[in-house]
Amino acid sequence: MDMAAEKTPPLLDRICREVLEPAGMAWAHRREAPPAIEGPAPLPWITATWAQSLDARLAGPGGKTIAISGGESFAMTHYIRHIHDAILVGVGTVRNDNPRLNARINSLLEALKEPALGEPVRNPRPVILDASFAIPLDCHLLTHRETVRPWVVVDPAAATAAPDKVRAIEALGGRVLAVANARTDVRGIFARLYAEGLRSVMVEGGVVVLSHVLEIATAVIVTVAPRFIGGDAPRLVVSGNTAWGSDGPLASARWTTLGSDTVLVASRPPQ
């Protein structure tokens, strides 16, 4: 490896070898910029990641936030945040969970009795998919002193109809990005993010956002926890024609374990 092992906490060194590199993300371990995803308009590197139960639930009953993964894989998630330029979620996640979307990697490493990261922790830029412009102005992302202010992707008509809200978000340090067909044109959204300077985007959810982003994601990292949730907890549903294929196992799939969790890693050639 290009980075000396002694400079990386043992858990993170293993995550780099067994998760990031099989996902095609050796660029992160080498501290290099990810490759541009070429096409009619270039796209950033897109990593779709989520944690689920054995019965494929991504949250608790009624969509309530619950801890699904264990400490080691939770630390992995926050390390993945640290190495990406941005973290993208839907506005439903903001309204239901009121997250901060920062990288708390060192506190998680400390809880696991691991040494701290040997470099400054970088918090990713939150990007909120919010076509109808429903983000609450009092959410943590716009008000908490420890959060990076978000970029809010909205439909142009929604932004035009709420100029006072646009100004309020800008006054709080955020940005509003009006993108045509923001409800359906996922590729157009990510092309705009690339044009705005983002070269890697981690997508955490919720289930609707993930189901759309899988069409163009470059890598997938899924944590499967050894538990059942049941009830009306949300599941990820993907279309039969997803770009990852539906006619057999993923050829690039690799499995590893972190604590009590199992982690699936897969990548595919940029589309």
Arithmetic mean of pLDDT, 211-219 = 91
Instruction: Say if residue 206 is preceded by a cis peptide, omega within 30 of 0.
Output: yes
Please list, in sequence order, all residues whose beta carbon lies within 8 angstroms of the beta carbon of residue 107, skipping any fewer than 6 positions away. none
243-271 pLDDT per residue, tens: 666 656 677 899 999 999 999 999 986 55
pTM score over 0.85? yes
User: Band of the pLDDT at 41, cuts 50, 70, 90?
Assistant: confident
With a cut of 60, say whether residue 1 has pLDDT above it.
no
Whether residue 152 contacts residue 125, with contact meaning beta carbons closer than 8 Å, is answered with no
- Residue 270: other Cβ atoms inside 10 A: 16
pLDDT for residue 3: 40
263 DSSP β-pair partners: 223, 256
Task: Please check whether residue 127 is in contact with residue 87, taking contact to mean a CB–CB distance below 8 angstroms.
Answer: yes
Which among 179, 185, 134 is positioned nearest to 157, based on CA atoms? Answer: 179
- Measured distance between the N- and C-terminal CA atoms of the chain, rounded to whole angstroms: 28
Which of 83-87, 191-195, 210-214 shows the lowest per-residue confidence on average (mean pLDDT)? 210-214
Q: What is the pLDDT of residues 236-246, one digit of tens each?
A: 887 655 666 66
For 152-198, the pLDDT digits (tens) are 999 999 999 999 999 999 999 999 999 999 989 999 999 999 999 99
* Alpha carbon distance 62, 95 (integer Å): 14
For residues 116 and 8, what is the distance between their CA atoms, to the nearest angstrom?
8
Question: pLDDT: is 5 or 117 the higher one?
Answer: 117
Averaged pLDDT of the chain: 91
CB 100 within 8 A of CB 147: yes
In sequence order, what are the beta bridge partners of 88?
Answer: 127, 203
